[in-house]
Amino acid sequence: MSEDKDIDIDLISSLLHKGESKLLEETLSSFHPVDVASLMNELPLDDIKEIFYLLSPKISSEIIMDLNEEAVEAILEDMESKRVSEIVDYLASDDAADLLGTLSKREANEVLELISAEDTKQIRDLMQFEEDTAGGIMQAEIVTVNVDARVHEAISMLRGIKDSMDDVHNIFVIDQDQRLVGVLPVRRLVLVEPDTPITEIMDHEFVSSHFAQDQEEVARIFKKYDLISLPVVDDDGRLLGRITVDDVVDVMEEEASEDIFKMIGAGADDIIPMSIMKSAKSRLPWLFASCVGGIVALKIIGGFENTLGQFVSLASFMPVILGMGGNVGTQSTTIIVRGLALGSVEPRMIWKLIFKEVRVGFMLGVFYSLLLAAAAQIIYPDTLHLSLIVGLSMCIAMTVAATMGTMMPILLHKMGADPAVATGPFVTTSIDIIGILIFFNIATFILM
Amino acid sequence: MSEDKDIDIDLISSLLHKGESKLLEETLSSFHPVDVASLMNELPLDDIKEIFYLLSPKISSEIIMDLNEEAVEAILEDMESKRVSEIVDYLASDDAADLLGTLSKREANEVLELISAEDTKQIRDLMQFEEDTAGGIMQAEIVTVNVDARVHEAISMLRGIKDSMDDVHNIFVIDQDQRLVGVLPVRRLVLVEPDTPITEIMDHEFVSSHFAQDQEEVARIFKKYDLISLPVVDDDGRLLGRITVDDVVDVMEEEASEDIFKMIGAGADDIIPMSIMKSAKSRLPWLFASCVGGIVALKIIGGFENTLGQFVSLASFMPVILGMGGNVGTQSTTIIVRGLALGSVEPRMIWKLIFKEVRVGFMLGVFYSLLLAAAAQIIYPDTLHLSLIVGLSMCIAMTVAATMGTMMPILLHKMGADPAVATGPFVTTSIDIIGILIFFNIATFILM
């Protein structure tokens, strides 16, 4: 199998609109479900609904978790509980809980009544955990074995559940109180004699996660210890479920994008599938701080109208000084936000880091202020004052910008807030205000 | 084992400086190697070197791949080839190739002469692949079985290599020409009778990667198909090695950070461990475009000195209009760059996306220009013209900014360039220039 096949979206559309449902279904089922889902995400909602109804519950279950939120909502809206329950039956418990979480309480209950009691309990339990925690991303499907079992017992237990074995890499070893006492990679079972006690080949030292742990922290644990699955326990060390590496890969991408989107003030969700209204709405509030800051800045400049009226050329230098400050500040902020997210910035390094960025900002400031002063001299050859003012302002503004860009996310982090949220617009706007104060005060001092 | 223990950096420093090397070694070996590495990354280079010499080759090998580049260079600089070869002996082939890649050709050869011929060949082969490709991140340690083998043969083969079994999840099935014909999850071996032919239980359909495939593409395949390992083949489908999910997790974080750092114009490497000079150097060139753009902007404003001289208050509105434009443009750019990297933006959606961003920019523009016009009216109650000018300029500037912010990364992508490289400073500077032209042309038209 080659790893990527492209589906012809026009072919699918034309089959759909010609009513060739049989042929359409055959065509779609020849592709990997992930590819079908990404194709469907590009179609209009009505087409998505129509195609989805053609698919069997099994194929539906393989596709639905990869559809975007709007599509899933549209599909579930009109679907009878019976059919939803058939799809839920094929889903892993974590996906089932997520899917039912998008329904109203009443609808979810209707669906849950139609599936087996055991599954219902698993799903209900999972639905109680917070979305972005270990409990929220774990699945309840785990393979456990008692601590006093032997290898042949574990093997015959595994043979009994063959069907659901495909992504089991570790068996969890529990004591009589359901407490997790060991982890046993399945492959070790083939390496030893059948009557070897499980305790002899299991790992007694293992990493586990508490159900309330943040998913970002969980991802960090996976990365640090190179795990492929992680058991989740409650306060008493009792086993609740497991998280597999593929879920964590999703979390990591989500968190990386989330940080970036938050930094630029665009909310935390993936913006691309959103409607125009939603997209504008999610970006609107974050620009507000920036706009208010801009209005403050314009009031401040108004206060220097006297200086400005006498030396109109000063105005020309505002954009370049504020722009360079903004760029340096954004660089510093981004570096720190990323470092905090990836764990390469630790609280004890803070002063060292701030001091470092101050010096980096100053070095960059010296370089570019000489450049700008030279440009000023060439453009306005009659005066040395202007070069002095813009050079000095640029250097101070860039140093202050680097310092502020470093301190802002660190301060937010210290206060327990998310260092990423809208730091982008906030930093550039603050730098605008401070840059203006620096520039016009220096200008007024030198010229007046 | 609790998943995280903090090492007391002051204790380590004091043990080191008191010369308590025995106690220091004991203390360090009680921690997870990953934790020791992240502690060492915070120490001065001389301390890192000194501590590193205290550790056994085995522990050194577990730590060295997690140290930052500067530390590794400093350590290897003074180390004799003999000791390097002892450490390399413990490394997986991909890590060994990466480590030797940091040495000069002569030094690497000296080390390679000291290790076993088989390992040498593996490592030399790996060193030939490009760093950021499937070949560059794969490892040569793979477990293969012949296509005509039976289950019991596979099991006894596995027992023979017990020691290196700990992260083997799949056995690769090859034909007599070394071509990959199937993939067999190890755990399936416990589910069937010993004389079952391998072909009966292996996956005949599997995903593989070509050695020259970009690592970002590899990461996308892992994510898409929820893999934990991926075989790498040559042009003829012959098996070369495998990539494991933990390597891909690193790639994903690396690529996410790389994109962000490139966008703000700060090079592609993690900036935090860099020295001040290096850090300033890597950021300096990207700010150049921004500075040149700023100088162009100041020339343009100079051309409107006549208008500006008569209506000095116009100058006050520049920062807010340019700032808001810059923020909206940065939002659009970031969303597209992220979408391209994650695969949620596809080339065929381009016009739809541009059109969408134009409308989002316009909606945000309308909202904020009303706000700014109102503010202008309050601050300068004597004139309606100013409100009209700034409102109109803001709305047009924000719409243009969103459009440009969307088109710039898409254009770069279409031209085969990296859409992330320095788009941040480039977009904000272009928006400054265009914003100024819009603003002063409207002002001149209305006022003069």
Q: Nearest CB to A256: which of B167, B256, B346?
A: B256
Report the distance separating Cα B274 and Cα A84, nearest Å. 54
Asked if A328 and A401 count as a contact pair (C-beta separation under 8 A), the reply is: yes
B347 touches chain A (CB under 8 A): no
pLDDT higher than 90, residue A173: yes
Higher-scoring residue by pLDDT: A394, B161: A394
Nearest CA in chain B to A346: B42
Sign of CA dihedral B357, B359, B365, B367: negative
Q: Please name the helix (run of DSSP H) or strand (run of DSSP E) that holds residue B446, with its range, or none.
A: helix B423-447
A2 has pLDDT over 50:
no
- Closest residue by Cα to residue A101 from A144, A60, A72, A58: A72
Residue A3 has a pLDDT of 44
Half-sphere exposure of A363 (CA within 13 A, CB side): 16
The 8-class DSSP code of residue A194 comes to T
pLDDT of A166 > 70? The answer is no
Query: How many residues are present in chain A?
Result: 448
* Rounded average pLDDT per 10-residue block, chain B, 448 residues: 59 82 82 82 82 85 84 85 88 86 85 84 86 89 92 88 73 94 90 91 92 90 87 94 88 75 65 73 82 90 89 91 90 82 72 87 94 93 91 95 89 78 78 93 90
Q: Measured between CB atoms, does A206 come within 8 Å of chain B? A: yes
Between A382 and A391, residue with greater pLDDT: A391
pLDDT at A5 over 60: no
Which of A169, A225, A301 is the closest to B316 by Cβ?
A301
From the list A283, A335, A359, the residue facing B364 with the nearest CB is: A283
Tell me which range, A19-33, A342-356, B124-138, B276-290, is most confidently predicted by mean pLDDT. B124-138
| pLDDT in the model for residue B4 | 47
Per the CB < 8 Å rule, is B159 touching A191? yes
Lowest mean pLDDT among A3-17, A134-148, A375-389, B377-391: A3-17
Of A73, A13, A7, A69, whose CA–CA distance to A43 is shortest?
A13
Nearest-CA neighbor of A180 among A144, A127, A130?
A144
| pLDDT above 80 (res A37) | yes
pTM across the whole model? 0.72
Cα A228 to Cα A244: distance, rounded to the nearest angstrom: 6
Q: CB–CB of B327 and A287 under 8 A? A: yes
Q: Which DSSP helix (H) or strand (E) runs through A174?
A: strand A170-174
Q: Indicate whether A1 pLDDT > 50.
A: no
B345/A428 CB distance under 8 A: no
pLDDT for res A416 = 77
Task: Give the one of B42, B166, B305 whose C-beta lies nearest to A313's C-beta.
Answer: B305
pLDDT at A4: 47
Residue B187 forms contact with A (CB below 8 Å)? yes
Nearest to B28 by CA among B3, B1, B62: B62
Residue type, A106: R
Q: Do A290 and B324 touch (CB under 8 A)?
A: yes
Taking Cα atoms as reference points, which of A143, A183, A176 lies closest to residue A159? A143
Lowest mean pLDDT among A15-19, A55-59, B418-422: B418-422
A125-156 pLDDT, tens digit per residue, is: 888 888 889 999 998 888 899 999 999 999 88
Q: Tell if the CB–CB gap between A265 and B331 is shorter than 8 Å.
A: yes
Q: Which residues of B touch A36 (CB under 8 A)?
A: none
Both tokens of residue A301?
A: 């400049």
What's the pLDDT at B421?
66
Strands (E) located in A178-306: 180-185, 209-210, 229-233, 239-244
- Position B2 scores a pLDDT of 41
Give the pLDDT confidence of A62-92 residue by residue, as tens digits.
888 888 877 888 888 888 888 888 898 888 8
- How many Cβ atoms from other residues are within 10 Å of residue A131's Cβ? 12
Are the beta carbons of B159 and A42 separated by less than 8 Å? no
